[in-house]
Amino acid sequence: MSKHVIVIGAGIVGVSAAIWLRRFGQEVTIVDRDGPGQGTSFGNAGLLAACAMVPVTTPGLITKAPKMLFDPDSPLFLRWSYLPRLAPWLLRYLAHANDRDTRRIASDLTDITADTVDQHYALTEGLTARDYLRKSDYVFAYDTRAEFNKDQYSWELRREHGFVPTLIEGGAVQEFDPSFGPSITCLAVVKDHGFVTDPGSYVAALARDFEQMGGRIVKAAVTDIDASDRTAPKVTTSAGPIDGDNVILASGAWSKALMQKLGLNIPLESERGYHIVMTDPSGGPKAPSMISSGKFVATPMQMGLRCAGIVELGGLDAGPSDAPFALLRRKIAQAFPNLSFSREETWMGHRPATTDSLPLIGEVRNTGVFTAFGHQHVGLTAGPKTGRLVAGLIADRPPNLDLTPFSPHRF
């Protein structure tokens, strides 16, 4: 039976869900206050990170984090004025920094990340947005072999899930990619990854494809979801009410307030991320490269070389900080000393981070409202699969995957 589904959020998750719903024969309206691909989906590293199942909360983080906060060369930042509001979330988040939880989280994330390249290509089958996809290696760049060895816990997890790196050391590093400077002496190269040449334009193209498929997009802010009568949820927007049979909530870090209207207080915070784009670059990497010392990914894109990463905890309201950009510039210069460019563009955005590093995928009670948010670092990576899963739940095409770990009621 055809339903009218309202998708709140026009990032990669929401637009992916909308496309799959149209393919499943549903009527779909996307609602977003800024338009497709203008939020977090705009500013990510563009990486289809199949091996990104290792959460930030690995064993030892509790002891390392305080030192990192006071180290000017560390990619972890905190707006100290926000700490009183952050503290309850932070304590629950750090509680997962143990081996048992890390292995459980990694296993669950693998289910939605490992086949990311195939999922993006399935999503874009017959669509114009396919032009933005590229298959590639994923390169992890370390100053020394000793620094790589310090990451052995994460690499063992990746190996357990099928991702085995090829190590390149010494002078072979520059033979593999001349853009790396002498400070980089060890590479771990993982095959079968990919990237998007312009993430914001990619999502916008997906949205145009969705409209060509008969979908509708409304530019408006959603102010309320009412599911109290348990028949069909009512959505109120700045452009007026929109009636539908089901709702998908895919508004990233801004989903918390709408979940509260449904009676659920989700432990969700913004993990603020930063990027710098160097336009007209020369001397940048040939493939997406994680610079380990700065925890950022350098990706060659249509608009230039985008260097994206950093973790800053500081909420949704404050503007960008200067220190993360300064660190990015230092680390970029160290890794790519021959890089030249005409100018730079900067950006700061909000990754939606839950306390257990897993997204919410599933129905809120029996309200007809489905969640699809909270992907932290893997929104672009897992967006198409998440959209396909939640669309299947609504269109009576149950997934061949246990979604219990992603339940919106697990908190």
* Digit-coded pLDDT (tens) for 300-356: 999 999 999 999 999 999 999 999 999 999 999 999 999 999 999 999 999 999 999
Convert the pLDDT of each residue in 72-119 to its tens digit: 899 999 999 999 999 999 999 999 999 999 999 999 999 999 999 999
411 band by pLDDT with thresholds 50, 70 and 90: very high
* pLDDT of amino acid 231: 76
230 band by pLDDT with thresholds 50, 70 and 90: confident
Phi and psi of 223, rounded to 5°? -105, -20
- Average pLDDT of the residues in 238-264: 96
* pLDDT of amino acid 229: 77
365 band by pLDDT with thresholds 50, 70 and 90: very high
Q: Which two tokens stand for residue 327?
A: 């660190």
Phi and psi of 349, rounded to 5°? -140, -175
**326 Cβ contact list (under 8 Å, min separation 6):** none
- Strands 304-313, 268-279: pairing is antiparallel
Q: Which domains, and CATH codes, for the chain?
A: 4-43+201-266+357-406 (3.50.50.60), 48-113+123-194+268-353 (3.30.9.10)
pTM for this entry: 0.96
Instruction: Report which of 12, 47, 11, 65 is spatially closest to residue 275, judged by C-alpha positions.
Output: 47
CA–CA distance, 363 with 383 (Å, rounded to integer) = 17
Identify whether the C-beta of residue 263 lies closer than 8 Å to the C-beta of residue 325: no
* pLDDT of amino acid 90: 97
Instruction: Report which of 380, 382, 376, 379 is spatially closest to residue 356, judged by C-alpha positions.
Output: 376
- CA angle (53 as vertex; 126, 318 as ends), nearest 5: 90
The percent of residues above 70 in pLDDT, for the chain, comes to 100
Identify whether the C-beta of residue 233 lies closer than 8 Å to the C-beta of residue 246: yes
Instruction: Report which of 312, 308, 330 is spatially closest to residue 321, judged by C-alpha positions.
Output: 312
Q: Which two tokens stand for residue 179?
A: 């853009």
CA–CA distance, 400 with 104 (Å, rounded to integer) = 19
Instruction: Report which of 239, 218, 205 is spatially closest to residue 28, judged by C-alpha positions.
Output: 218
* pLDDT of amino acid 202: 98
What rounded mean pLDDT belongs to the chain?
A: 97
